[in-house]
Structure 1
Amino acid sequence: MSRRLQGYLLLSLAMMTVGTTVIASKLLAGAVPPFLATAARFALALPVLLLLLARSPVPWPRLGWRDRGLLVLQAAAGSVGYTVLLVSGLEHLPAADAGVIVGTLPAVSALFSVMVLKERPGLRLLASALLATVGVMAVAWQAPGQSSWVGVLYVLGAVFCESAFILLNKRMAQPLGALQQATAMVALGLLVSLPVALFELPVAMPSTVALAALAWYALVPTVGGFLLWYAGAARVSGSEAATLTAVAPLTAVALAAALLGDEVGLAQWLGAGAVVLAILILALPARLSGARWRLGRAGG
């Protein structure tokens, strides 16, 4: 398997874990205050990452002040901002609606990659991004319509935070390894969220379901998702990574249907097919796609 295909697989798995954050956040919403849920998530994940880091032979590089600032921005936006805004939004929205709104992530991330990273995606990448966006819009078409505008704005804010989190790493002069990056994000996220979380105390003891959701959020999307994402992002461009974020909303909507009983109709299934096709186009090797394009023109 080529390095690029490995990146696509790792990023797809990472975005599946991101999709589960919608369900976990729905179970946490109203049971645990948002900053407290965020701090608890990182407090549970950090010991696991520190243990893995202690066993890693890779030395920690020396970072300049600019790279340190970028790490703090990533942690504040993607680690803290995404969690706080998503949990807050799901106090006002059903999980299916939130999953649909997260579907704007490919378009927003692609916009970030062009504006921030100054990338100029080719025709194949543009076609893939367009199909991914069409797919998630189809998922949105028949979603429940009683959404609170407050919840919509919260979740859209989470999408913007996640987009910044995804792409700011590409701006670092001294990239970190996947494990180092994940540990830095969790540690900084804990430091950023903890002061506000302390003001949300005391709270009533959450239910077993909420505690299980918190443990899942800490160990799977945080530890596993971070490691998968950074390992995959090191193998592809920012624009390619942006397209693969389409996997997250589809996972969220599918799990909302399977676990929470939300109805998924024909439009949603058609949207899923469009996103799968987008990822297949993206994964097609550039040389092969160019050869087929030339062959098609010759035959026409």
Structure 2
Amino acid sequence: MSEKIKGYFYLIAAMATVGSTVIASKIIAAGMPPFTATALRFAMALPVFIAIMLLTGKRLPRLSRRDWLLVVFQAVAGSVGYTTLLISGLSLTSAANAGIIIGTLPVVSAAIAILLLGERPRPGIYLAIAIAASGVLAIVLQPDEGQSSLVGDILIFGAVLCEGLFILINKRLRTPVEPLALSTLVTAFGLIACIIPAALEPHVSSIEIQPALWAIAYYALVPTVAGFLIWYAGARRVSGAEASVFTSVAPVSAVLMAGTFLGETISLNHVLGTGCVLVAVLGLGLSEIRARKRPA
């Protein structure tokens, strides 16, 4: 098997774990407040990241005060904001809805870069945005969707915006930060940021939180740590443009897992929404591949 094919398998596996975070977050939302859950996720993941850095001989970067502030903002706005909004949204809407909305991240990130960074859009980016928006509308405007589900969908989209800002801020760092070091720093700062809000949240009984604790442990160790390692094992073997195509696996895996493990009903609107998001993300990735191959 060629290294590139191995890379494809790694990327598929990594994006499948991203889809599974929706299922884990749905279980967490039923048994634990969002900031408490987020703090526990970071507390479980941080020692593992530190251990990996020590084993691989990686060191923390030397950054300017401006870059340190940007990393802290990444942790608070991107990582904490994403996780708490995802959990809060999933207390009101279905995991299938959330999976489709989260799948729009590559398109949303491109739109944010155009609006806030003034980047020149690649050919077809506006079409990709329109198709992805159609996919989200297909699930948001379902006839059986109640007001609480709509609020939940909006919270999930807020989580996507937070993750998009995380990516945007990373482009503004003057000193490039190695991915493992960045993940370790963001996890540490995220944990610090969650401590006070988590302490102010209401406590729940030990019986109620047991499934949530297992889901948090899974979220912390599998998608957060293992998913990170698998993704970069795959990304090393393919181009960045090729890797971006595989982000389309996340919404499909989330919807399939919602039906399989949570017993949620997958409607025609979910199928249409997933299809639109897939077309948008794949189109975005393929246009990037063509742009990279085009001679300067």
TM-score, structure 2 as length reference: 0.79
- Contact 1:139 1:272 (C-alpha < 8 Å) held by counterparts: no
- Structure 2 contact 96–270 (Cα < 8 Å) conserved: no
For 1:10 and 1:129, the matched residues in 2 are separated by: 27
- Cα distance per residue 1:127-158 (max 9 Å; x no partner): 55555555555566658512414423322321
Q: Which runs of 5 or more structure 1 residues have no equivalent in the other structure?
A: 292-300
For the residues of structure 1 that align with 2:231 and 2:248, how far apart are their CA atoms? 14
Q: What CA distance in whole angstroms lies between the structure 1 residues aligned with 2:262 and 2:163?
A: 24
Which amino acid in 2 is paired with 1:286? Answer: R
Using a 3 Å threshold, how does the CA distance of structure 1 residues 121 and 17 change in structure 2: closer, same or farther? farther
Read off the aligned partner of 1:236 and give its amino acid letter.
G
Q: What residue number does 1:236 align with? A: 240
8 Å CA contact 1:247, 1:275 repeated in 2: no
1:55 aligned counterpart, secondary structure: helix
1:223 aligns with one of 222, 225, 231: 225
The 3-state SS of whatever aligns with 2:240 is coil
- Note the 1:79-158 alignment, pairs <5 A: 79-123=79-123, 131-135=131-135, 137-138=137-138, 142=142, 144-148=144-148, 149-158=150-159
- Give 1:1-300 correspondences, 5 Å limit: 13-123=13-123, 131-135=131-135, 137-138=137-138, 142=142, 144-148=144-148, 149-200=150-201, 202-205=203-206, 206-227=208-229, 232=235, 236=240, 241=244, 245-278=247-280, 280-281=282-283, 282-283=285-286, 285-286=289-290
More off after superposition, 77-86 vs 36-45? 77-86
Check conservation: 2:131, 2:280, Cα contact below 8 A. Answer: yes
Counterpart amino acid of 2:251? P
- Helix, strand or coil at the partner of 1:116: helix
Instruction: Determine if contact 1:75/1:185 at 8 Å carries over to the other structure.
Output: yes
Distance 1:267 1:162, change over 3 A: same
Query: Do the aligned partners of residues 71 and 229 (structure 1) sit closer, same or farther apart at CA in structure 2, a change above 3 Å counting?
Result: farther
**In structure 2, what is the Cα distance between the partners aligned to 1:226 and 1:34?**
22
TM-score normalised by the chain length of structure 1: 0.78
**Percent of residue pairs identical:** 44
Change (3 A) 1:115 1:228: farther
**CA contact under 8 A between 1:181 and 1:230: conserved in structure 2?**
no
Post-superposition CA distance 1:227-246 (Å, at most 9, x none): 55678599637xx95x7655
2:240 counterpart letter in structure 1: V
Quote the offset at 1:15 in angstroms.
4.1
Q: Aligned partners of 1:227 and 1:139: how far apart in 2? A: 32
Q: CA RMSD in A?
A: 3.6
Q: 1:143 to 1:60 in 2, by over 3 A?
A: farther
Unaligned runs of 5+ in 2: none
- Alignment check: 8 A CA contact 1:103 1:133 kept: no
- Residues 247-280 of structure 1, C-alpha deviations (whole Å, 9 max, x = no match): 4333322211111122224454455455555555
Structure 1 stretch displaced more, 177-186 or 101-110 = 101-110
Preserved CA contact (<8 Å) 1:131 1:274: yes
TM-superposed CA distance for 1:45, in Å, is 0.7
CA distance in structure 1 between the aligned counterparts of 2:111 and 2:43, rounded to whole angstroms: 33
8 Å CA contact 1:96–1:143 kept in 2: the answer is: no
Query: Displacement, 1:91?
Result: 1.9
Instruction: Point out the more displaced range, 85-94 or 98-107.
Output: 98-107
